[in-house]
Amino acid sequence: MVNIPYIICAVLSFIPALVLHEVAHGYAAYKLGDPTAKASGRLSLNPLKHIDLFGTVILPLLLMVMGWPVFGYAKPVPYNPRYFK
């Protein structure tokens, strides 16, 4: 049985959590001297820049339908360790 309030709460918390997580990676790299994430526009809170079709949409939906613990991932933020101070 589909629990609509659960799905709404899951989506409203899942997407922002993934986006904030990836932005935090990019911000940490930026503070260490790497401008790669900023140059590629990935220090944005816009979810469309971070959504991975399988990891952010398909996998969590499949897990939710099967009743398993829901997890997912977003596109990794690019970084270049050569820039690190």
Query: Which one, of 47, 37, 58, lies nearest residue 16 by Cα?
Result: 47
Marked catalytic residue, from 22, 30, 74, 77: 22
Cα 79 to chain centroid distance, Å, stands at 15
Cα separation, 70 vs 26, in Å, equals 24
- Active-site annotation holds for 85: no
Report, as residue numbers or ranges, the catalytic residues: 22
